[in-house]
């Protein structure tokens, strides 16, 4: 996967799945749910976010429930990647499984909302363009990046099954 | 140099078809049991399986539970429940528990979990099954679909964080207090996807209902699973359900004394006070006496952690002969139909109702924010649930405190956050008056 570039939104620690995918909107479509993403802590987030943006967060991002709509909502809003000091285990799996890049970056001090960033997930490097500072991230192994690039676990499995001669019965 | 093995390592090695696995190693495990519920289950996985053109690899290994949207409160919930039912039927899932309780409790009380099993569930509190010495992890819907398609899942063999419980808990100190104290100590998610193994002499104080709470809230600690070695109590519980545990099984599913641990944390139960977690995180916990006695609009006894038979009995001990405060409502949603039945037979529910409790259907209800018992803007609630995230139980400005059933019941009587200990010590009647007046 090549380097990606985008504008930062900055969040704190322990952003939980109820903030990302509020229970009150879980019955509706994912599009409807995504409109309420993070509204409990940042009512304008959905208005401000632009396709290609990056989320920069503190520790244990995505703690809480196993609902993968939390990752899907971010992806639907166009978030290219979440860069966090650490992730909650289930969310981390869900993000990659849903084609949302999740990169662990233990130190990203000084990044502010609106800053331009360049991320190399394979090499494990986050570049803060305004200052030219570079932050070390945990590199993502090639096979996981390939899965993310394929759009997530399901499209990736689809390929695998096709290759093995199993596939949708039409 | 022979290195001992953790219980988690032994279970994963068995599930991976290996004699041993190393921590940090990537392994692929065969899944013994899959738990699906109405929210993350068929409605999410069916379209994925269709797209993949596959059916579940082994319906006899699936337990399907309708609890999150049950009973339906609107047409959309009804549609989800209907879809769940049809999917179960079409795919030959014989074990569909339709509106008979919360998934994790249903699994336990029907004896679907036994020591050494590798369980994958479509819910973050799947670790509850770890109370029986099973490795039980929660996953999202895409991953669940992959499990259903293949019968397998990959994972990195996790390290084990052992929590050693010492001492004997004092009055009104129960598993929920242990977990809230641990959430504060480790921080929300502080276990960082390690196995949370509970051990130590203090475990003797906790029966299976209480152990379910310990294992369940490993999720709040961010553990991949909670784990408790099976013992005589486990054997007795399963024996009563007609599942005999052989002595070899009890001997096999334990951590070796020299097993590698990421860390060990000790908690002296004797020094623990009843805990209350302030909004909006279980990690905001503090001893009840340090918490502002905030007025309570709603007290809620519900959820997989807070409405089992043991939980309702705790509440009944406090509520017997007393009345819920005038401006407070006490809502009780028993965790399952079986709990409902047993709490009816032993008089627990009558005690709660006489005290002014309103009974709600079994199911996730207000805990997930999908069912009955939601909160208005600005309201304050004290709940025996596992999570108090902002907006989870209704309006975003509602404030939810977490506590044990004892503390929830005491707070319902006082109309504000209240220490249950005096209510359990004094003769019934006088203290209630005093508390309400104060
Ligand atoms: S009761 Fe609450 S915590 Fe338990 S499974 Fe249902 S929604 Fe999840």
CB A63 within 8 A of CB B187: no
Distance CA(B334)–CA(B150), nearest Å, equals 36
Q: What is the pLDDT of residue B433?
A: 43
For B280, residues 6+ apart whose C-beta sits below 8 A from its C-beta are: B388, B389, B390, B399, B400
- Residue A54 β-bridge partners: A8, A81
pLDDT at B431 over 90: no
Q: Identify each DSSP E strand in B321-432 by its residue range.
A: 329-332, 358-359, 380-383, 399-403
Residue A91 has pLDDT above 80, yes or no: yes
- Can you name the CATH fold of A4-140? Aconitase; domain 4 (3.20.19)
pLDDT at residue A169 is higher than 70: no
Chain A, nearest residue to B217 by Cα: A64
State ipTM: 0.87
Burial of A113 (0-12, 13-18, 19+ CB in 10 A): exposed
Task: Please state, in angstroms and rounded to a whole number, the distance separating the CA atoms of residues B291 and B227.
Answer: 31
Mean pLDDT, rounded, for A52-56: 98
Interval A61-79 mean pLDDT: 95
Per CATH, the homologous superfamily of domain B275-436 is Aconitase, domain 3 (3.30.499.10)
pLDDT band at B426 (very low <50, low <70, confident <90, very high): low
How many A from CA of B169 to the centre of ligand 1?
26
Edge-to-edge strand list for the sheet holding B380-383: B285-287, B275-277, B399-403, B380-383, B298-301, B329-332, B358-359
Instruction: Tell me B2's DSSP state.
Output: P
CB pair distance less than 8 Å for A23 and B281: no
User: Is A145 exposed, middle or buried (CB count within 10 Å of its CB: 0-12, 13-18, 19+)?
Assistant: middle
Q: Do A158 and B124 touch (CB under 8 A)?
A: no
Assigned token pair, B417: 């956050």
Q: Give the pLDDT band (50/70/90) at residue A27.
A: confident
- What rounded mean pLDDT belongs to chain B? 95
Query: What's the CA-to-centroid distance between B63 and ligand 1, angstroms?
Result: 16
Q: What is the pLDDT of residue B38?
A: 98
Domains B7-268 and B275-436 in one fold: yes
Report how far apart, in Å, the C-alpha atoms of B198 and of each of B46, B137, B206, B267 are: 36, 16, 11, 10
Which CATH code, of 3.30.499.10, 1.20.58.2240, 1.10.10.10, 3.30.70.100, is assigned to B7-268? 3.30.499.10
CB-defined contacts A:B, below 8 A: 128
Rounded to the nearest integer, the mean pLDDT of chain A is 93
Exposure letters B235-249 (e unless 16+ CB within 10 A, then b): bebbeeeeeebeeeb
Binning pLDDT at 50, 70 and 90, where does residue A165 land?
Answer: confident
Please give the distance, rounded to the nearest whole angstrom, from the Cα atom of residue B385 to the centre of ligand 1. 8
Q: How confident is the model at residue B280 (pLDDT cuts 50, 70, 90)?
A: very high
pTM equals 0.91
Q: Is B370 on the interface with A (CB under 8 A)?
A: yes
pLDDT at A170 over 50: no
Confidence of residue B436 (pLDDT cuts 50, 70, 90): very low
Q: What is the pLDDT of residues B5-20, one digit of tens each?
A: 999 999 999 999 999 9
Supply B433's token pair: 């008056």
Smallest Cα distance from B274 to chain A, Å? 24
Tokens 């090549």 correspond to A2
Residues B108-121, mean pLDDT to the nearest whole number: 98
Contact, B277 vs B189, CB < 8 A?
Answer: no
pLDDT average, residue stretch B242-254:
95
Please give the average per-residue pLDDT across B257-273, as a whole number.
96
Q: Which residues of B79-102 are buried (b: 16+ CB within 10 A; e: fewer)?
A: ebbeebbebbeebebebbbebbbb
CB contact under 8 A, A27 and B76: yes
Q: What is the arithmetic mean of pLDDT over A50-54?
A: 97
Tell me the CA–centroid distance for residue B369 and ligand 1, in Å: 10
Distances (CA, A) of B339 to B102, B211, B306, B336: 11, 16, 12, 5
Q: Please tell me the predicted confidence (pLDDT) of residue B26.
A: 78
Chain-chain contact of A90 with B124 (C-beta, under 8 angstroms) = yes
Partner-chain residue, chosen from B123, B193, B283, that has the shortest CB–CB distance to A66:
B123
Under a CB-based contact definition with an 8 Å cutoff, are residues B55 and B46 in contact?
Answer: no
- Confidence category of residue B2, pLDDT binned at 50, 70, 90: low
User: Where exactly are the structural domains of chain B?
Assistant: 7-268, 275-436
Residue located via tokens 């490993």: B218
Span B163-176, average pLDDT:
97
What does the pLDDT average to over B149-161?
Answer: 94
Report how far Cα B137 is from the mean position of its chain's Cα atoms.
Answer: 13
How many Cβ atoms sit within 10 Å of the Cβ of residue B344? 12
Q: What is the pLDDT of residue A71?
A: 97
Q: What percent of chain B has pLDDT over 70?
A: 97
Among A22, A60, A98, select the one facing B142 at the smallest CB separation: A98
pLDDT at A106: 95
Band the pLDDT of B432: cuts 50, 70, 90.
Answer: very low
Chain position carrying tokens 């807070």: B306
pLDDT of B403 higher than 60: yes
Q: What residue ranges do the domains of chain A occupy?
A: 4-140
* Residue A129 to chain B, least CA–CA distance (Å): 31
B316 lines ligand 1 (CB under 6 A): no
Residue B368 Cα to ligand 1 middle (Å) = 6
Distant-in-sequence, close-in-space partners of B433: CB < 8 Å, separation ≥ 6: none
Mean pLDDT of B395-418: 97
Which residue has 């993502």 as its token pair? A140
Task: Report which of residues A146 and B180 the model is more confident about.
Answer: B180
**pLDDT above 50 for B34:** yes
Q: β-pairing, A125-128 with A116-120?
A: antiparallel
Q: What is the CA radius of gyration of chain A?
A: 16
- Note whether B222 contacts A88, CB cutoff 8 Å: yes
Q: Is the CB of B123 inside a 6 Å radius of any atom of ligand 1? A: yes
Q: What's the pLDDT band for B1 if we cut at 50, 70, 90?
A: very low
Confidence of residue A24 (pLDDT cuts 50, 70, 90): confident
Mean local confidence (pLDDT), B374-397: 96
CB-neighbour burial class of residue B346 (10 A; exposed 0-12, middle 13-18, buried 19+): middle
**Contact at CB, B370 and A23, closer than 8 angstroms:** yes
Chain A residues with CB under 8 Å of B50 CB are: 168
pLDDT for the residue A160? 85
- Give the angle A114-A147-A70 at the CA atoms, nearest 5°: 50
Binned at pLDDT 50, 70 and 90, residue B434 comes out as: very low
> Mean pLDDT, to the nearest integer, of B215-244?
97
What mean pLDDT comes out for the span B30-57?
96
For B321-365, the pLDDT digits (tens) are 999 999 999 999 999 999 999 999 999 999 999 999 999 999 999
Question: B438 pLDDT exceeds 70?
Answer: no
Closest CA to B197 of B162, B146, B153: B162
Q: B392: part of which helix (H) or strand (E)?
A: none
pLDDT at position B425: 76
């Amino acid at each position: 996967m090549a380097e990606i570039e985008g504008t930062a939104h900055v969040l704190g620690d322990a952003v939980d799945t109820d903030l990302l995918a509020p229970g009150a909107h879980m019955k509706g479509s994912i599009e409807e749910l995504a409109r309420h993403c993070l509204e409990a802590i940042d009512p304008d987030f959905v208005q401000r976010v632009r396709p290609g943006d990056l989320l920069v967060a503190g520790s244990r991002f995505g703690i809480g429930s196993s609902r993968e709509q939390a990752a899907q909502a971010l992806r639907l809003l166009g978030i290219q990647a979440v860069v966090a000091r650490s992730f909650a285990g289930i969310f981390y799996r869900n993000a990659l499984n849903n084609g949302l890049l999740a990169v662990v970056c233990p130190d990203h001090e000084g990044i502010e909302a609106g800053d331009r960033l360049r991320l190399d997930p394979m090499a494990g490097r986050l570049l803060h363009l305004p200052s030219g500072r570079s932050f070390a991230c945990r590199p993502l192994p090639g096979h996981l990046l390939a899965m993310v690039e394929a759009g997530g676990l399901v499209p990736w499995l689809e390929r695998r099954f096709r290759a093995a001669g199993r596939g949708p019965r039409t | 140099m022979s290195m001992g093995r953790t219980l988690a390592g032994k279970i994963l090695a068995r599930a991976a078809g290996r004699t041993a696995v190393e921590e940090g190693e990537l392994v692929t495990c065969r899944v013994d049991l899959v738990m699906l519920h109405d929210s993350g289950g068929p409605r999410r996985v069916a379209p994925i399986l269709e797209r993949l053109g596959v059916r579940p690899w082994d319906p006899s290994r699936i337990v399907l539970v309708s609890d999150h949207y049950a009973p339906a409160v609107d047409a959309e919930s009804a549609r989800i429940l209907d879809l769940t039912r049809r999917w179960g039927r079409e795919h030959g899932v014989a074990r569909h528990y339709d509106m008979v309780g919360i998934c994790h409790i249903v699994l336990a009380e029907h004896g679907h979990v036994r020591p050494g099993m590798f369980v994958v569930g479509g819910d973050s509190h799947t670790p509850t099954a770890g109370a029986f010495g099973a490795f039980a992890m929660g996953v999202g819907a895409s991953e669940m679909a992959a499990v259903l398609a293949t019968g397998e899942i990959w994972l990195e063999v996790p390290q084990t964080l052992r929590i050693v419980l010492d001492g004997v808990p004092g009055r009104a100190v129960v598993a929920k207090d242990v977990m809230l104290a641990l959430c504060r100590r480790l921080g929300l998610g502080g276990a960082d996807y390690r196995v949370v193994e509970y051990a130590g002499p203090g475990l003797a104080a906790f029966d299976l209902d209480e152990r379910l709470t310990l294992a369940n809230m490993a999720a709040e600690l961010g553990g991949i699973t909670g784990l408790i070695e099976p013992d005589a109590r486990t054997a007795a519980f399963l024996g009563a359900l007609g599942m005999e545990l052989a002595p070899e099984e009890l001997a096999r599913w334990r951590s070796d004394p020299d097993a590698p641990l990421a860390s060990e944390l000790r908690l002296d139960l004797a020094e623990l006070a009843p805990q209350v977690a302030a909004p909006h995180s279980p990690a905001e916990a503090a001893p009840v006496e340090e918490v502002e006695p905030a007025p309570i609009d709603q007290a809620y006894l519900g959820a997989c952690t807070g409405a089992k038979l043991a939980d309702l009995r705790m509440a009944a001990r406090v509520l017997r002969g007393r009345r819920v405060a005038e401006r407070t409502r006490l809502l009780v949603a028993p965790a399952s139909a079986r709990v409902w039945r047993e709490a009816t037979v032993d008089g627990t529910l009558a005690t709660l109702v006489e005290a002014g409790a309103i009974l709600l259907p079994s199911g996730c209800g207000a805990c997930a924010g999908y069912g009955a018992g939601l909160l208005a803007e600005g309201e304050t609630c004290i709940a025996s649930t596992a999570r108090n995230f902002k907006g989870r139980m209704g309006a975003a400005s509602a404030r939810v405190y977490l506590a044990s059933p004892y503390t929830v019941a005491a707070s319902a009587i006082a109309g504000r956050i209240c220490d249950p200990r005096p209510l359990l010590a004094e003769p019934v009647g006088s203290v209630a008056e005093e508390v309400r007046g104060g």
